[in-house]
Structure 1
Amino acid sequence: MRDIVIRNIKARFAVIDELAKSITEAQFSAKLDVPKYKSVEDHLWCIVGARESYFRALLAGEWQGFNCSLTGESDKSSYEYALLQTHKNFENVLSSVHWSESTETILASLYEHEVMHEGQIIRLLYGLGLQMPESSKWA
């Protein structure tokens, strides 16, 4: 089961990487005119921070708190770079994990977080009249 979850996480990472590359700067910060709606930038900030935080948790065997390396001065290219770095770092993290029920629970939570944001981004992009990358199996 772990291998299936890891494969699915990597597929979600690839979709988000492709999405970040495919949108313009204006689309990156665009929001729908509805209450409590986030931009792609807002979602990607949370995705990067969650990946970084879940990676620390996987290595520690328990949640270590949330932290995101992206700052308020980060631009679209910084987000693209951070996404690619977390995608690449995933392999290093996996090779260093001492697997237990706790780390497998953390891994499953990482997957759930990625899927949740992908679904929200799909709704956002469709609402803005845009398309998701074809690699998104949910869109």
Structure 2
Amino acid sequence: MSLTDDFYHHMNDRCLRLRISEVPSNTIGEQAYCIIGARESYLKALKISQWDGFECSLLESNNKTLIISKLEETHTNLERFLQDISIDETNSHLLFDLLEHEVQHHGQLIRYAYANKIEFPASWNTRYTV
């Protein structure tokens, strides 16, 4: 989650509206909507030990300040929850699903960055050698 947070901190507001040209693509801001919604939805699922559908509280996918706030909020909420529980088999599957989802978005964000000539934050250069 820290890598995702770093990516959105690093870019400027204009980048949120960028797409990958000449292929079906949403925007970088809409990628944040999906990431934030997954964090919120998986936290809800972890609390009740089962998937209960996707919901996202992010209302503006072109507002960097709001995106950063929601990324930090969801990161903190998940960390706090995980400190207070023991992880059973169901929750371990949900956590792996959340991890897989976020990492898949990292791959997508790498493609967005290359396609739009966006520089990566240092943490991404270290983790992914981009």
> Is this a same-fold pair by TM over 0.5?
yes
User: SS state of the match for residue 6, structure 2?
Assistant: helix
Give the counterpart of 1:27 among 15, 34, 38: 15
Task: State the shift of 1:98 in Å.
Answer: 4.8
Within 1, Cα distance between the matches of 2:85 and 2:48?
A: 8
- Which segments of 5 or more consecutive residues in structure 1 lack a partner in the other structure? 1-12
User: SS state of the match for residue 117, structure 2?
Assistant: coil
Within 1, Cα distance between the matches of 2:61 and 2:34?
A: 15
Task: State the shift of 1:15 in Å.
Answer: 1.3
Give the counterpart of 1:40 among 28, 50, 65: 28
- Match of residue 50 from structure 2: 62
- Match of residue 10 from structure 1: none
Give the counterpart of 1:110 among 98, 101, 108: 98
User: SS state of the match for residue 47, structure 2?
Assistant: helix
Task: State the shift of 1:103 in Å.
Answer: 0.6
Using structure 1 for the length normalisation, give the TM-score. Answer: 0.84
Within 2, Cα distance between the matches of 1:89 and 1:134?
A: 25
- The answer to whether the 8 Å contact 1:29/1:40 transfers is yes
AA matched with 1:50: A
> Taking every aligned residue pair, what percent have the same amino acid on both sides?
31
User: Aligned pair count?
Assistant: 127
Within 1, Cα distance between the matches of 2:34 and 2:61?
A: 15
- Match of residue 79 from structure 2: 91
- Match of residue 79 from structure 1: 67
RMSD: 1.5
AA matched with 1:52: E
Within 2, Cα distance between the matches of 1:49 and 1:98?
A: 24
Task: State the shift of 1:97 in Å.
Answer: 3.5
- Which segments of 5 or more consecutive residues in structure 2 lack a partner in the other structure? none
- Match of residue 3 from structure 1: none
Q: Which runs of 4+ in 1 moved over 2 A?
A: 95-99
User: SS state of the match for residue 135, structure 1?
Assistant: helix
Question: Residues 79-128 of structure 1: CA distance to partner in whole angstroms, max 9, x if unpaired?
Answer: 11000111111122113435221110000000000100011001111110
Using structure 2 for the length normalisation, give the TM-score. Answer: 0.90
